[in-house]
Amino acid sequence: MTTATVSSEPTIAPAMRMDHLRALEAEAVHILREVVAEFERPVMLYSIGKDSSVMLRLAQKAFHPGPIPFPLLHVDTTYKFREMIEFRDQMARAVGARLIVHTNSTAIADGTQPFKVGTQRCCGLLKTKGLLDALEAGSFDAALGGARRDEERSRAKERIFSVRDAKGQWDPKRQRPELWHLLNARLQPGETIRVFPLSNWTEIDVWQYIHVERIPVVPMYFATEREVIVRGNSLIVPEQPFVPVLPGDTLQVVRCRMRSLGCSPCTGAVRSDADTVPKIIEELVAARQSERQLRVIDHDQDGSMELKKREGYF
């Protein structure tokens, strides 16, 4: 046994080394290509957020000079911010991809909204059921998503190729081991797969990549003066007609931005001066609160994300 060398880096031409971001990019491109090579009908979930923006760019890279060889799917709860929808349509046009928009219209017609049925049931109907229905309607065998393992505890154990049963559900105990970069694409009848090319990325990696690649993102990520409802520590953007203004609520102008983008009634803003990507990165490095703190849904109960994933949510 020898003592480990703590000397300087070995002498290799600097040009022959890849930094952390390029290594993550190469890995994600590899995953995207495996999906296209191994599955008949892949689809990419497009949720309009920063992770989706990165996924789009990676898909452009993976198949260049060819077009992106799968459609994009947006499961629209109808409660998204207007700016998000505008951005979505603009991006789909810009990259020349086919965009499928799916809404659980039965649930909407039944009056499903978070304040009426509770956030859990609302997500279950509009996101999870909406997603499962859309995947079935398109007969998609593989769905690419931008989820990252660092987002939440139960996601830390998610595979890159994650098998779902005929009901779209996840069984954490029956996960396939994933070794090296060998991805097992074999499915039994009825099974489908969820694929997570950004598994090994962190939130800061995503922003750094957006910065170096100059990837467009929804402007709501950047700080500006906004009129918001202040409830305790939460800043709520009163997107109309989705966010009810309660008696006692007052509107205040606060310099703030969104750390993650979801449905307008369930996504809060954070006080911030970060109006550029480098400032956002700086803020994150110093941040003492994770990105999901202000997304009400993860706070419902301990392990709520895991429950939703088992049921079929991403």
Partner 1 sequence: MSGLLRICTAGSVDDGKSTLIGRMLHDSQAVYEDQVHSVRAASQNRGVGPIDFSLFTDGLKAEREQGITIDVAYRYFATARRKFILADTPGHEQYTRNMATGASTADLAILLVDATQGVRTQSRRHARIASLLGISEYVLAVNKMDLVDFSREVFEDIRGAFEEILGDVGCHALPLSALHGDNVTTLSPRTPWFEGPSLLEHLETVTVTRDLTLSPFRFPVQLVIRPDREFRGYAGQIAAGIVRVGDTVTAWPSARTARVKRIVTYEGDLDVAFAPMSVTLVVDDEIDISRGDQLSSVAHPPHVGNRFQAEVVWMDERPADPARVYVLKHTTRSVAAALSRGLALNQIGTVTVSATRPLVFDRYDNNRTTGSFILIDPASGFTCGAGMITGLGEGDRTEPDTTFGAAARLVQLARQAGSDAEAIAAVEKALEEMLI
- Residue closest to 257 by CA, chosen among 265, 267, 266: 267
Cβ at position 151, least distance to partner 1 in Å: 10
Q: Are 52 and 210 in contact (CB under 8 A)?
A: no
Among 48-56, 87-95, 178-186, 273-281, the segment contacting partner 1 (CB under 8 A): 178-186
Should residue 171 be labelled a site residue for partner 1 when binding is judged by CB under 8 A? Answer: no
Should residue 215 be labelled a site residue for partner 1 when binding is judged by CB under 8 A? Answer: no
CA 113 centroid distance within chain: 22
Should residue 167 be labelled a site residue for partner 1 when binding is judged by CB under 8 A? Answer: no
Q: Per CB under 8 A, which of residues 55..84 are in contact with partner 1? A: 60-67
Should residue 231 be labelled a site residue for partner 1 when binding is judged by CB under 8 A? Answer: no
Q: Which of 52, 54, 150, 297 binds partner 1 (CB under 8 A)?
A: 150
What is the rounded distance in angstroms from the CA atom of residue 20 to the CA atom of residue 285?
Answer: 16
Residue number with CB closer to partner 1 (103 or 293) = 293
What is the rounded distance in angstroms from the CA atom of residue 169 to the CA atom of residue 210?
Answer: 32
Q: Are 102 and 76 in contact (CB under 8 A)?
A: yes
Among 42-50, 70-78, 153-161, 248-256, the segment contacting partner 1 (CB under 8 A): 153-161
Q: Which of 182, 225, 241, 247 binds partner 1 (CB under 8 A)?
A: 182
- Residue closest to 77 by CA, chosen among 262, 269, 282: 262
CB burial readout 151-168, b (16+ within 10 A) else e:
bbebbeebbbbbbbeeeb
Cβ at position 91, least distance to partner 1 in Å: 16
Should residue 176 be labelled a site residue for partner 1 when binding is judged by CB under 8 A? Answer: yes
| β-pair type (142-144, 161-164) | unpaired
Residue number with CB closer to partner 1 (160 or 263) = 160
Q: Are 140 and 293 in contact (CB under 8 A)?
A: no
Among 81-89, 136-144, 267-275, 290-298, the segment contacting partner 1 (CB under 8 A): 290-298
Q: Is 23 helix (H, G, I), strand (E, B) or coil?
A: helix
What is the rounded distance in angstroms from the CA atom of residue 205 to the CA atom of residue 125?
Answer: 32
Q: Per CB under 8 A, which of residues 9..38 are in contact with partner 1? A: 9-10, 12, 15-20, 22-23, 25-27, 29-30, 33-34, 36-37
Should residue 271 be labelled a site residue for partner 1 when binding is judged by CB under 8 A? Answer: no
Q: Which of 82, 116, 181, 231 binds partner 1 (CB under 8 A)?
A: 181
Q: Per CB under 8 A, which of residues 117..146 are in contact with partner 1? A: none
Cβ at position 274, least distance to partner 1 in Å: 17
Residue number with CB closer to partner 1 (118 or 172) = 172
Tokens encoding 22: 């390029």
Contacts of 124 (CB under 8 A, 6+ apart): 308, 311, 313
